[in-house]
Amino acid sequence: MRNLRAESTDGHAVLPLIVRFPGLARIPRVALGDYPTPIVAAHGVAPLLWMKRDDLSATPVGGNKARALEFLLGDVKRGDAVVTVGSAGSTHALAVAAYGRELGARTFIGRWRQEMNDTATVVSAQIERVADAAPVFRSPVGAYAWALGKRLGGSRWIAAGGSTPLGILGHVNAGLELIDQIDAGAMPAPAFVVAPLGTGGTVAGIALAFSIAERPIIVVGARVVPRIVARASRVSRLADATARLIERWSGLPVPRVRRSSIMLAHETYGGAYGRVTEAAQLAAERMRVAAGVTLDPTYSAKALVRAIALGANTPTLFWLTFDPRVVTNRT
């Protein structure tokens, strides 16, 4: 077991978010990741495409979820109980279970049925092995009701996908991390950054970071969940709520995200969460052959479809949020 330590001062000093807003150093945080994650050229995939390797953000479960959990689990102590919800093969659920266990907490995962694929099947099995309890219900209603019982019993609640203002701080830091890398010459300033759009926290946080840094970069959310969840209005509300949280803790003004700086790609969805599309399969194979990077076919690969189209003519960054090691390694 790694020695994870909660940080409230020194550990925050290295974060671009804390450099800009020192007052946020008072928010408890546990160091899970190794940052900054690298940027690599992916010109063999598309002529003007780069990739942010957030799949390498942490061990044992990398990707975007570790960034949010650094804040959401910041003051969790050994013996605490944590509860969250997600689909049967949710990587958020796996990350909560894995890191909650490393911190010595009991973890409870309420899940609902989804259209299964090879990746979801492996992730589901890992959740069942790592979590203290992870029942699967017919619908989200059952999962939320079960989770509510755990919450009433004293378990700490973590929202689906970790998409609350506290968790989104991790994604704001990620966006500011990217700005620092651009300024250091890791890549030219992109016109677009493309990431999967699920519960919205990643897209909201990155867009807020670009607003804070005053960079005219459009964040493209490639929808991978039903439209009722992945809406532009929801992403905007999450960004606004996170800006207010930063203002309360830092005492500094935070510019709001303009609607025009967020674009949604609805055509990537494919009709169901977890459904493999032909376009995503082709994009994933293109990435594997050109860059030697494995993508899951229902989340990252769907976003790559849109990134390839944009990166054919315009400098574009594809944000790789899924860690393929979760389907090959034991957590």
Q: Which pLDDT belongs to residue 14?
A: 76
Residue indicated by tokens 């990741």: 33
**Contacting residues for 233 by C-beta, under 8 A, at least 6 apart:** none
Q: Which pLDDT belongs to residue 331?
A: 57
Give the integer Cα–Cα distance in Å for 178 and 52.
8
**Contacting residues for 243 by C-beta, under 8 A, at least 6 apart:** 208, 254, 255, 256, 257
- Domains defined along the chain, listed by start: 6-64+163-327 (3.40.50.1100), 67-162 (3.40.50.1100)
The long-range contacts involving 295-301, CB below 8 angstroms and separated by at least 24 positions, are: 295/320, 295/322, 295/324, 296/119, 296/322, 296/324, 296/327, 297/117, 297/119, 298/117, 298/119, 298/120, 298/224, 298/270, 298/273, 298/274, 299/91, 299/196, 299/198, 299/224, 300/196
The torsion defined by the Cα of 195, 275, 162 and 136, in degrees rounded to 10, comes to -170
The 3-state DSSP class for residue 146 equals: helix
Strand 192-197 relative to strand 316-320, pairing: parallel
Q: What does the block give as tokens for 262?
A: 């967020």
Residues composing the chain: 331
Q: Which pLDDT belongs to residue 132?
A: 98
Q: Which pLDDT belongs to residue 325?
A: 86
Strand 29-30 relative to strand 39-41, pairing: unpaired
Give the integer Cα–Cα distance in Å for 315 and 192.
7
The 3-state DSSP class for residue 52 equals: strand
Strand partners, 50: 41, 317
Q: Which pLDDT belongs to residue 218?
A: 98
Question: Of 189, 167, 191, 168, nearest to 180 (Cα)?
Answer: 189
Strand 156-157 relative to strand 106-112, pairing: unpaired
Low-confidence ranges of the chain (pLDDT < 70): 1-13, 329-331
The 3-state DSSP class for residue 220 equals: strand
